[in-house]
Structure 1
């Protein structure tokens, strides 16, 4: 009605007619003028949420077929304007039918109850139609008009419901943005899952091994070996204390992602340190539950923070696998090499003759290590070899594009250490 009234004012100012609504031609002209104004209004971004709400409520269109949020792109605005114009155009026709045809059809149906001169004058019918057959057919004609009007309304609703997914549905840009949001959420969940798997999983494996060793000592004849039990309990205490700190760090990341969902810093939106780096490797090796032969080549301290953090997690997961599946009592050989703008991690451990049973739900560690390396532009490889040794290798570039905190190494020195 607002657009139609504006159109009526425009028509009246040019035609000079005092009563615009008295002429069907001027009404049709005002109606046609109203449609372009409705189309221009439909370009505004907030029209799409209102139109989507109307389509869901009035046309019973499933939510998944319609787009959410304001129209931002040109294609979305054009589609929304098309829907808005179609909606108001059909609405104008349906409004005219229900306002004008409903009382007329009722009057035709009830006309046999009134005098002939009144019904022909009120209904504007020629007097030649007067006769007994008119009295019989008039009620049928009135009901037919109402049925035809209901059919037109239903057809208009069906047309709007059919066009709503095409005009109000997501555009390719909307689908791309939704896919990017889903990928970002999935990346955050995967990152948190890797952090929890590597930190908590390793800690639980080490604690289980230390507690089992202490129990066996207490149950054996060597119960007087209090020093070993004390050392095992100290290792359990240190491991759980460190793991609680790492768990707090991961939960802090989760709260940070919830508070600032739109901000991203680094791979997968990492913002700030998400855990220990290579400078904490000494404490890990001392309390990991297996003997480790550790060797470095190059300036490991010059590795950037992000690469150092991911390298620590890869080493931690490799030690967890050696603890679970390696030959008990044999040392793990670990080498870190910084060369050619790349950090290489090499880890070897002997395998038992009978492979250990994989726990239900396990097997995510190798995939997590591979994901960490791929995010930095690197690669990993792991598997058994013919000499009965499990080998894990990872290559992480120090200057991967988009990696914050990266550092290039200059002159390198060599150093060796045994643990």
Structure 2
């Protein structure tokens, strides 16, 4: 294909392609939406124009009514439903990417003023294109047909000569092409302005960012719940099952009671974890609706059950009334202890763990220690997420947490405000 041929094709698509046709429909729709306001303008302009037929084709009356209709269209754009409707139509007909337009009603003064400006532009330009689309095609068709239809020539009061027989059809075709060009240009103008007038305002962007941050925080919370509950359960079950298997392999009948206790611990751990998993998955099926308050979960009041079936010997030292700790803080404290036990199981085997929990006037202090293993623990690909989750839990409550080797032991400590931020 030659360069000139591709240029003509591109010009044809720009004037008569699918996008141009949809934008023309969008303009005609804007003109139709202006019609009620234009009729009000006709009624208002009639007495001001003097004694004449209100429905006459006087240009001063028509354009005077048009001038009255535009401010009324702007007022209509201030209504709450104006922006959602305008955005829906612009997405469908203007060819504007949906992500560049705002969703929902305009809740700020700047957003409402932009919507009013869009309605004025859409209806005003649409009315002009609609009027031209009604008036020019019949007249252009008459010019094209005039050389061959005597009745049309008489109506137009033109004389046919060799020049007029050529120029009149060319003039008619030129009018149609000009109308198509003006319509395409007006549609492109509206498509550009839609991104400005119907796009998100700074307040809309801030609200969207806050919604995304809230959703992300909720997803992270659910991920931490799954990691801590399921990860601890798998670590405990693995250790108990391995210990029971070694006892059975040794053929020591005197240790049958140990095997029974290990199996009971596995049963209770999996039953408790299935309940927690069901609660978290229930929220996921609801897309996290209800937030953290509906998540519930175990608290420090049920800590004794966790420690008794943790798979490692735990020496607990308590200070203060742990049952009086606020539920959000108590839930996070339970998960921090659970993650600490998981780390002890995973890296320290059956080494004993010492746990201190103190509820003081303004904060809850948690400290866990277990001996460091003789060998460095095997790192998992990509690293673990448990300690990061502990730090996140503490930070969300306005506290802090840290973990690492301290004088021959592995220590995990956390300080949580008793009131928390939730």
**Range class of TM-score, shorter chain:** 0.7 to 0.9
CA 329–27 in structure 1, closer or farther in 2 if over 3 Å, else same: closer
Q: 1:264-279 counterparts in 2 under 5 A? A: 269-271=291-293, 274-279=296-301
Change (3 A) 1:112 1:304: same
Aligned twin of 1:395: 415
Picking from 148, 153, 156, the partner of 1:123 is: 156
Residue in 2 aligned with 1:163? Answer: 193
210-219 vs 336-345, which moves further: 336-345
Aligned positions of 1:20-99 closer than 5 A: 20-99=55-134
Deviation at 1:257, TM superposition (A): 6.4
Q: After superposition, give the CA deviation of every residue in 1:227-273 in whole Å (9 maximum; x if it has no partner).
A: 11111111111212222232233345446765xx4x6xxxxx42256
1:175 aligns to what SS in structure 2?
helix
**Structure 2: distance between partners of 1:330 and 1:51:** 67
* Equivalent runs, 1:146-295 vs 2, <5 Å: 146-254=176-284, 261=289, 269-271=291-293, 274-295=296-317
Take 1:199 and 1:7, find their aligned partners in 2: how far apart are those partners? 70
Q: Distance in 2 between matches of 1:333 and 1:375?
A: 26
Report how far residue 360 of structure 1 moved. Answer: 3.9
Distance 2:302 2:57 in 1: 89
1:317 to 333, 336, 339: 339
CA contact under 8 A between 1:290 and 1:331: conserved in structure 2? yes
3-state SS in 2 of match to 1:395: strand
Is 2:280–2:295's contact at 8 Å kept on the other side of the alignment? no
Aligned mates of 1:124, 1:278 — CA distance in 2: 99
Partner of 2:142: 107
Residue deviations 1:259-312 (CA, integer Å, cap 9, x gap): xx4x6xxxxx42256211112111111110111122123333332222122111
- Figure out how many residues of one structure are paired with residues of the other and give that number: 387
Higher helix share: 2
CA offset digits 1:57-116 (Å, max 9, x no partner): 21111110111112222111111111111111111111111111111111112222244x
Q: Give me the whole-angstrom Cα distance separating, in 1, the residues matched to 2:284 and 2:184.
A: 50
- Alpha-carbon distance between aligned partners in 1 of 2:164 and 2:223, rounded to the nearest angstrom: 81
Report the CA distance shift for 1:340/1:56 in structure 2 as closer, same or farther (over 3 A): same
2: CA distance between counterparts of 1:103 and 1:216?
97
Checking the alignment, whether the CA contact within 8 Å between 1:338 and 1:344 is kept in structure 2 is yes
Question: CA separation of 1:147/1:219 partners in 2, compared to 1, >3 Å: closer, same or farther?
Answer: same
Query: Is the 1:104–1:123 Cα contact (8 Å) retained in structure 2?
Result: no
Provide the rounded CA distance (Å) in 2 between the counterparts of 1:144 and 1:252. 66
SS in structure 2 of the partner of residue 295 of structure 1: strand
8 A contact 2:311–2:350 mirrored in 1: no
Work out whether residues 55 and 164 of structure 1, in 8 Å CA contact, stay in contact via their aligned partners in 2.
yes
| 1:370 Cα deviation after fit | 0.9
- The 8 Å contact of residues 347 and 393 in structure 1, kept in 2 or not, is answered as yes
Bigger mean CA offset, 222-231 vs 147-156: 222-231
The answer as to whether partners of 1:278 and 1:308 remain within 8 angstroms in 2 is: yes
SS of the residue 2:415 aligns to = strand
The alpha carbon displacement at 1:41 in A equals 0.7
Aligned to 1:408: none
The corresponding residue for 1:414 is none
Measure, in 2, the Cα distance between the counterparts of 1:331 and 1:345.
Answer: 17
**Any idea what the Cα deviations from partners look like across 1:357-415, whole Å, max 9, x if unmatched?**
23346511111111111111100001123x33211110011133x44xxxxxxxxxxxx
Shift of 1:124: 6.0
> Is residue 373 of structure 1 aligned with residue 394 of structure 2?
yes
Q: Offset at 1:339?
A: 3.0
- The answer on whether the counterparts of 1:207 and 1:236 sit within 8 Å (CA) in structure 2 is yes
The corresponding residue for 1:145 is 175
Tell me which residue corresponds to 2:20: none
Q: Which runs of 5+ in 1 are unaligned?
A: 264-268, 404-419
> Does the 8 Å CA contact 1:250/1:274 hold for their aligned counterparts?
no
